Structure 1
């Protein structure tokens, strides 16, 4: 499935560091906001997580920085689901400068579905798996 926009925003001057480009902490923050939009599309909505006692925990995140972003730049993140396992997902975010179309950074991350009360990983519900399979860009792994 094609990457879908999961975040849109701007770079503010206070998000820039001493050399004038967006500081890495804000790349992470914008990718985090994209996470929650991607999760919601898969059925991992805030109401589902609250009512089911489930949660999502990041276990790995790798970011590659390609181009700097400056104050005033418009940012878009597009996300795709790469792998679906019994209790975890792997996905990629591509952050672009929306004006130029250039990739500024990309992030590949793995998150685990968990039972919040037991503090242990838990299998995805069938409905979540069925929805997630529609977003998968690579063959499913069980």
Structure 2
């Protein structure tokens, strides 16, 4: 049986952003629905494998309004985690893989043989497309405080409140909420760089994420207020990496962290824009 078809969906115009393609929060929303369906179809649950440690998404091709979406999901034991559930998002009319997600789990090692047997009908070797590239596969493990991050050059980039529409069946904030906060926060980081709004508008460029790794540290519930604290963590030839930290505002506890690989895209050619040396130098100076 191998991979299962876990989602048949569609890109609505209201899910697209200023770049006229599907916003990252809705990629995560669709992967979350595919995962719910996969669990129902297979009996996969956290009671068997523990809590999900990380969801690692790579974006391979744009999905635009009216695109058909199919997601296929399977279990992999040869990935970067002890056990991974892999979701492949495919454009339904062309068959092109547009995005991949790895959900990483660390079950008890003594249960490995049992899990292989239980999920052998939905096991595949992990696809090369899904393998992490721009950020490490490991879940976030630090214990930063907002105060320390800000002292070291990070900035507050967002504030929000968890509302009923952001909750899942377990009454916890979904990935989509966190990603919507991080998506909005990224623009405030970009604004501190030479690639600010004026530069983007003048050149008809857009802000794009290539890869995102979400690690939940502690849950959020209805009514929780949050702030996002973001920082630049690395600069490559044409890309740079942002780390977003989501804190619950009242208790100041860390709730989630997202590492994001970003670049600028020419909105006419739909191709990556090479990074000029002066821009790279300015980004390096902002790292903390």
Q: TM-score range by the shorter chain?
A: 0.7 to 0.9
SS of 2:158 mapped into structure 1: strand
Question: 2:266 matched to 1:115?
Answer: yes
Q: Corresponding residue for 1:99?
A: 250
Q: Write the distance in 2 (CA, Å) between the matches of 1:18 and 1:41.
A: 38
Q: Is the 8 A contact 2:234 2:284 kept in 1?
A: no
* Pairing partner for 1:75 from 226, 247, 256: 226
Deviation at 1:122, TM superposition (A): 1.5
Aligned length: 137
Q: CA deviation at 1:118?
A: 2.2
| 8 Å contact kept, 2:230–2:242 | yes
Residue 55 of structure 1: CA displacement? 1.7
| Structure 1, gaps ≥5 residues long | 138-142
Offset from partner CA, 1:12-64 (integer Å, 9 cap, x none) = 12211221111111111111011111111113333321211222221100000
Q: How many Å separate the matches in 2 of 1:75 and 1:125?
A: 35
Give 1:64's match in structure 2, choosing from 207, 211, 215. Answer: 215
Unaligned 5+ segments in structure 2 are 1-151
CA–CA separation in structure 2 for the residues paired with 1:42 and 1:23: 30
**In the alignment, structure 1 residue 15 sits paired with structure 2 residue 166:** yes
Compare CA radii of gyration and give the structure with the larger one. Answer: 2
Normalization by structure 2: what TM-score? Answer: 0.45
Provide the rounded CA distance (Å) in 1 between the counterparts of 2:195 and 2:164.
33
Whichever structure has more strand as a proportion of its residues is: 1
Q: Matched residues in 2 for 1:75 and 1:134: separation?
A: 28
Q: Which residue of 2 aligns with 1:33?
A: 184
Separation in 2 of the partners of 1:47 and 1:20?
40
In the other structure, the counterpart of 2:284 is 133
Greater RCO between the two (CA within 8 Å, min separation 6)?
A: 1
What does residue 140 of structure 1 align with? none
SS of the aligned residue for 1:110 comes to strand
**In 1: Cα distance, 2:240 partner to 2:281 partner:** 13
Q: 2:206 aligns with which of 30, 50, 55?
A: 55
Alpha-carbon RMSD: 1.7
Q: Secondary structure of the residue that 2:177 maps to in structure 1?
A: helix
Q: 1:99-134 CA distances to partner (integer Å, 9 max, x unpaired)? A: 111110000010122222222222234554343233
Tell me the TM-score normalised to structure 1 length.
Answer: 0.86
